[in-house]
Amino acid sequence: SKTAYVRTKPHLNIGTMGHVDHGKTTLTAAITKVLSERGAGAFVPFDRIDRAPEEARRGITINLAHVEYETDTRHYAHVDMPGHADYVKNMVTGAAQLDGAVLVVSAVDGVMPQTAEHVLLARQVGVDHIVVALNKADAGDDELTDLVELEVRELLTAHGYGGDSVPVVRVSGLGALQGDPRWTASIEALLDAVDTYVPTPERYVDAPFLMPIENVLTITGRGTVVTGAVERGTVRVGDRVEVLGADTETVVTGVETFGKPMDRAEAGDNVALLLRGVPRDAVRRGHVVARPGSVVPRRRFTARVYVLSAREGGRTTPVTTGYRPQFYIRTADVVGDVDLGGTGVARPGETVTMTVELGRDVPLEPGLGFAVREGGRTVGAGTVSELL
Ligand code: GDP
Ligand code: MG
């Protein structure tokens, strides 16, 4: 039988961000290698991270790899994403709920467009703590690296991250992967910086249980399993839950994290829940598992929405009243009608207030973040203001 997951340390969700080819995946692999040598987790090689499980639905690919590791003081779930579009999607939709991020900047290349965009994105989705990995330090010269460091600190300051106090650690993911002691030590220094600089978040453990479903699987002989990150509250084996979207109530008969059974999962945990007697095709990504009666699904709300500029991959033309894009809310994908009121126009690069009427009811609440998508790309990021 499997070893149970024992909660001995606080759990945090972190991830690598940064421009393509600056070494995010290499660094992720290097972290698992360095920690596995201390006996704190399994080494996950580059190829396994870069071939993240893909889920294609309605032509939209959600692509992110989770690796798990422990430092002396914490348990981490770390996400790495292959391409820039994956960052926009996973971060604004909340699929990657990061408590902190490691911004990877190549010491050889410096700040590049996606470096800046990921910092902007992190700010918008409420990632409050960033640690910088100045990667490829093996290949850069010291003077150039000093300049890159200044550049990164300025960028962070410009986005309200207090660039002067953000830890910037010079590392070589490649060097550490190759076993070079100097660069192995650099990865340890980076992890120390994450441990100390990124605070343990306040979890909404006391709130009623809620988990957006990311994936549905069938385990032969056991039944239907739904996976996702617990947004708030706790859940244990034997709890009654409601599946919003499937309009069904059931009992949780198993709780696991990274393949290990646990008796109680709490806000922030990435878990798989076994649901009693629920057919595989009754539930799907986008549905929400919650304590019965604790949420009422709604469809009309006002929101503040940032319309991405063309440079950020957004539209080149304004949005007007009558616009009907897709709304990504938690893990759900729902069509909605936009009413811009007054002038009725929102230009790319602007932040506006809009009224939205969704095509179906979903669990909503003020402060909830969402993405606006059109033709398979993200064109806006918003927050629910008021339910109507
Ligand atoms: P990603 O796109 O940010 O995930 O970048 P990858 O991890 O795929 O790395 C891109 C390229 O940079 C690969 O050829 C790596 O071998 C190389 N690379 C990554 N980290 C380092 C490093 O620390 N030093 C050097 N010299 N090359 C690196
Ligand atoms: Mg990569």
345-372 b/e with 16+ CB inside 10 Å = b? ebebeeebebbbebeeebbbeeebbbbb
Overall average pLDDT of the 1-5 stretch: 64
Give the model's confidence band at 327: pLDDT under 50 very low, under 70 low, under 90 confident, else very high.
very high
Average pLDDT along the chain: 88
362-383 pLDDT tens trace: 999 877 878 888 987 888 878 7
Atom of ligand 1 nearest to the CA of 19: 3
pTM, whole model, 2 decimals?
0.67
Overall average pLDDT of the 197-202 stretch: 85
Q: Is the CB of 180 under 6 A from ligand 1?
A: no
Catalytic residue (one of 33, 75, 84, 89):
84
The pLDDT of residue 58 is 33
Task: Provide the residue count of the chain.
Answer: 388
The pLDDT of residue 86 is 76
Tokens (6 digits) for 36: 């596995």
The pLDDT of residue 7 is 64
Name the least confident of 104-113, 161-170, 201-210, 330-339: 201-210
Q: Is 72 a catalytic residue?
A: no
41-58 pLDDT tens trace: 889 888 887 765 554 433
The pLDDT of residue 63 is 63
The pLDDT of residue 60 is 37
CA distances from 265 to 5, 15, 236, 272, 301 (A): 10, 21, 6, 10, 31
Q: Which of 16, 18, 28 is nearest to 174 (CA)?
A: 28
Q: Is 8 a catalytic residue?
A: no
Q: What percent of the chain has pLDDT over 90?
A: 58
Distance separating the N- and C-terminal Cα atoms of the chain: 50
* ipTM exceeds 0.90: yes
Q: Is the CB of 170 under 6 A from ligand 1?
A: no
Say yes or no to pLDDT of 59 above 50: no
280-293 pLDDT tens trace: 999 999 999 999 99
Q: Is the CB of 20 under 6 A from ligand 1?
A: yes
Number of the ligand closest to the Cα of 29: 1
Q: Is 24 a catalytic residue?
A: yes
